Amino acid sequence: MTDAHTASTIMMSRRTVVGGAAALTGSLALPRELWAGAPADLAAKAGEAELIAGQKTAVWGYGGIVPGPVLRVRQGDDLRVRFRNDIPHASTVHWHGIRIANAMDGVPGLTQKPVATGETFDYRFRCPDAGTFWFHPHKMSSEQVARGLYGALVIEEREPIAVDADHVLMFDDWRLDADGQVHGASFGAIHDRAHGGRLGNTFTLNGTTAHAIPTRSGARLRLRLINVANANVFAVRIADHKPTIIAVDGQPVTPRPATDGLVLLGPGQRADVIVDAMSAPGTRADIQMVLARDVVTVGSLAYSKDAPLREAPSDAPIALKANPIDERLDLANAVDVAIPMDGGAMGRMRGASINGDYMSMRELVREMGYVWALAGQAGMPKTPLFAVKRGQTVRLTFQNNSMWPHAMHVHGHHFKEVGDAASEPWWRDTIMLFRQQKKTVAFVADNPGKWMLHCHMLEHHEGGMGTWFEVTS
């Protein structure tokens, strides 16, 4: 690890509550070293954030801050967190994208009891894959994530690639009212559920609308981009810079330049990119979220006046070592599961079943607040959508019959697009399906337990778009 990397790690953890005073005292007190020892504390609690300069917004955050602390742990080590819930609603912590022990997955009613206000829950699990992950509540997540409960979990490679700095960039959108407060009245709104989810009017990078990332000319940066928005889909762009994608959803890919410099991120998705900062000393480059109908600047790469570190981009290798995913997809003997995705505004869904009872669309909306169905079922069923033995290859065919995009997320496993139409031969935990799109993915179900499969547009999930499957040992 280079000195610059260490320095930036300290800088990133400056605001952490997990490290506490220890994190401020120097390089020996990196948060990751805390994980190997005593459990760290992570509390969900109320706080204030200055999303917009000069204006205070009441939030819920891990440690009371937004984003929460960057948790770091080395690949293969245990993460140990004592979670304390100090918000006025039950909560849990879900470790998004980690191929985790089932009991630690943080899904209330499926893997654990919800953690009531004032209670604690000890999370402890091995982190098998190096990469960029994040954590968030899995209870009332539409509201809890929208109010600011999220943080990054970085699992470091045992032999990291050489970079001069390593930064986490969490992109979010917020729906603020005229007083700059989180718009509370629209939580649970059927309109959001039936359309594109809770879309915001204020856009932030690492909790502010103008986040500066310091750099020096000639430096090589590793940027870990995370879309933590409830439902927004956007591409990240850095003016005048050409990111090279080296990992998606925490899993290494063959390095490739981002097409047109745009890195597309659906809700929950991540991308690790290498950026060689080759602009002139003293300059700035805008960091932008390219949305469907807008481009918003949320920060900048801010170059110091120092003389360039290098005159040409570093030629050090940037390919990451593969993670230990079971890649032996036995497609000839795969269990096939069709997952038609129906509902939403302008859709043709007439009704769906809930635990065997068929309900018309009107009844679903009126009685359950549901507007979506996966494989004909609305809401979380009592029985799994499918159950397989450990080691079985599973092939899921998502067919988006709706007029809205969806970000389909599978817990406990990473999957890969297969078939003729495969557009991304990458291991992912969350995949975008745009309207009317069909994608087939496959994975080896090698992690026993009860796992969710849901749309990561949190209002769609709340509106019925979530189910589960079981892997038996």
Q: Which residues bind ligand C2O (CB under 6 A)?
A: 94, 96, 136, 138, 268, 409, 411, 452, 454, 456
196 interface partner picked from Cu ion, ligand C2O, none, CB below 5 to 8 A per type: none
Q: How far is the CB of 52 from ligand C2O (least distance, A)?
A: 26
Give 68 or 347: the residue with its C-beta nearer to Cu ion: 347
Alpha-carbon 164 to chain mean position = 25
Give the single-character DSSP code of 272.
E
Query: Alpha helix (H) ranges present in 304-439?
Result: 361-363
Name the minimum Å distance from CB 373 to ligand C2O.
18
Residue 411 contact among Cu ion, ligand C2O, none, beta carbon within 5 to 8 Å by kind: ligand C2O
Nearer to ligand C2O, 287 or 396 (CB): 396
Q: Tokens at residue 439, please? A: 């994608």
Q: Which residues of 390-404 are buried (b: 16+ CB within 10 A; e: fewer)?
A: eebbbbbbbbbbbbb
Of 98-106, 233-241, 412-420, 447-455, which part binds Cu ion (CB under 5 A)?
447-455
Contact region with Cu ion (CB under 5 A), list: 54-62, 91-99, 219-227, 456-464: 456-464
Residue 277 in the binding site for Cu ion (CB under 5 A): no
- Helix, strand, coil shares of the chain, percent, nearest 5, are 10, 40, 45
Which is nearest to 65 in space by CA: 84, 51, 49?
49
Closer by beta carbon to ligand C2O, 134 or else 187: 134
Are the C-beta atoms of residues 66 and 25 closer than 8 Å to each other? no
Residues 396-425 that bind Cu ion (CB under 5 A): 406
Task: Find the shortest distance in angstroms from Cβ 105 to ligand C2O.
Answer: 8
Work out what residue 457 binds among ligand C2O, Cu ion, none; the CB cut-off runs from 5 to 8 Å by kind: Cu ion
- Single out the residue of 455, 458, 463, 471 in contact with Cu ion (rule: CB under 5 A): 455
CB 190 within 8 A of CB 371: yes
Residue closer to Cu ion by CB (options 8, 430) is 430
Question: Which SS3 state, helix, strand or coil, does residue 27 take?
Answer: helix
Residues with Cβ within 8 Å of residue 159, at least 6 apart in sequence? 321
Residues 242 and 276: their CA atoms lie apart, in Å, by 8
For residue 455, which of 424, 423, 427, 432 has the smallest C-alpha distance? 432
Stretch binding Cu ion (CB under 5 A), from 51-59, 142-150, 258-266, 453-461: 453-461
Cβ neighbors of 6 (< 8 A, separation 6 or more) are 27, 30
Residue 460 binds which one of ligand C2O, Cu ion, none, with CB within 5 to 8 A depending on kind?
Answer: Cu ion
Binding site for Cu ion (CB under 5 A): 406, 455, 457, 460
